[in-house]
Amino acid sequence: MNVRSPPTQLNLNGLETDVLQLLIEAHPDQAELLRAQLSGSTVTSRRWTGAGFFLNFRVTAPERFEPAKFELNDVYADIDGLDHGAGFVLFIRNGKIDFLEGHSVGDEEWPRTEGRHRAFIMSPVRGVLH
């Protein structure tokens, strides 16, 4: 998977595509399995919360993460319409990608339409990578 050509079955928007790609880059120890699970998955639903969204996945790939329950983060974005930007968390449950949460940092209302964005990796240890 790369930013320019996500698996078509996922029907991701530009922000979701960029965020997932950066989560893979930010977590090289999990990158291979993330790619494998995303290539064998579908988006089952999107739910807007007002201050963000949840993007739920169904993963058919047989490979599983160990440990079976954890979260990946360190990806943020500057988004038109959000003064303080957004953060993202990918939840792994039962060894598989379960859902992606996007949330406004300042508890602002999430923009109704997809505008311009700049997603980036930020880690307390590494600092901003790009």
Angle between helices 14-26 and 31-39 (to 10 degrees): 150
119 part of a folded domain: yes
pLDDT tens readout for residues 77-92: 999 999 999 999 999 9
> Does the pLDDT value for residue 7 go beyond 90?
no
Tell which wins on pLDDT, 2 or 7.
7
Domain assignment of residue 120, yes or no:
yes
Asked if the structure places residue 22 within a domain, the reply is yes
In a domain, 2, yes or no: no
pLDDT greater than 50 at residue 5: no
Low-confidence winner among 43-52, 53-62, 106-115 (lowest mean pLDDT): 106-115
What phi and psi values does residue 23 have, to the nearest 5 degrees? -65, -40
Query: What is the residue range of 76's domain?
Result: 8-128
Cα 60 to Cα 37: distance, rounded to the nearest angstrom: 7
Structure confidence at residue 10 (pLDDT): 80
pLDDT digits (tens, 9 = 90+) for 56-71: 999 998 999 999 999 9
Pairing of strands 96-104, 52-59: antiparallel
Q: Could you tell me what percent of the chain has a pLDDT over 90?
A: 77
- Reduce the DSSP state of residue 72 to 3 states and report it: strand
* Number of domains composing the chain: 1
Q: How many CB atoms lie within 10 A of CB 88?
A: 25
Residue at 25 is within a domain: yes
Answer yes or no: is 3 within a domain: no
Q: Is residue 1 part of a domain?
A: no
CA gap 85, 108 in Å, rounded: 9
